[in-house]
Amino acid sequence: MRMNSPSFRRCLYLLAPGSVVALFVAFVALTAPRPEAAPTPAPEAAPPVWTAGPDPLQLPGDLPSIGNQHGDVAVSANGDLYVSVMQGLRAGVQVYAADGTYLRNVKDAPTDFHGFVIHQGADGEFIYGPQLGGGKIVKLTLEGEVALTIPGEAIPKEYWLVNPKTGQAALRLTGCTVAPNGDLFVTDGYATDYVHRFNAKGEYLATFGGKAAPYGFKTLHKIAIDTRFDPPRLVGTDRANNRVVHLSLEGELLGEIATDLLMPAAAVVQGDLLAVGEIKGRVTIFDKENRVVARLGENPNPDEVGTNKIEPAQWKPGVVNAPHGVAFNAAGDLFVSEYSLHGRVLKFTRSANGVAAR
- Confidence at residue 7, expressed as pLDDT on a 0 to 100 scale: 53
What is the distance of C-alpha 36 from the center of its chain?
44
The per-residue DSSP string of 273-305 comes to EEEEEETTTEEEEE-TTS-EEEEES----GGGS
- Confidence at residue 11, expressed as pLDDT on a 0 to 100 scale: 45
Distance CA 85, CA 69 (A): 5
Write out the chain's pLDDT in tens, 358 residues. Answer: 555 555 545 544 444 455 544 444 444 444 555 555 556 565 666 789 999 999 999 999 989 999 999 999 999 999 999 999 999 999 999 999 999 999 999 999 999 999 999 999 999 999 999 999 999 999 999 999 999 999 999 999 999 999 888 888 899 999 999 999 999 999 999 999 999 999 999 999 999 999 999 999 999 999 999 999 999 999 999 999 999 999 999 999 999 999 999 999 999 999 999 999 999 999 999 999 999 999 999 999 999 999 999 999 999 999 999 999 999 999 999 999 999 999 999 999 998 655 444 4
Distance CA 347, CA 226 (A): 22
- The kind and range of the H/E element at 49 are strand 49-52
Contact 82, 65 (CB under 8 A): no
User: pTM, whole model, 2 decimals?
Assistant: 0.86
- Confidence at residue 341, expressed as pLDDT on a 0 to 100 scale: 98
Q: Which whole-number Å values give the CA distances from 107 to 63, 92, 281, 311, in the listed order?
A: 18, 8, 32, 29
- Confidence at residue 165, expressed as pLDDT on a 0 to 100 scale: 86
The per-residue DSSP string of 316-331 comes to BTTB-S-EEEEEE-TT
* Close Cβ partners of 39 (under 8 Å, ≥ 6 residues apart): none
What is the distance of C-alpha 6 from the center of its chain?
78
Supply φ then ψ for residue 88, to 5 degrees: 135, 180
CA 98-123-137 angle, to 5 degrees, is: 80
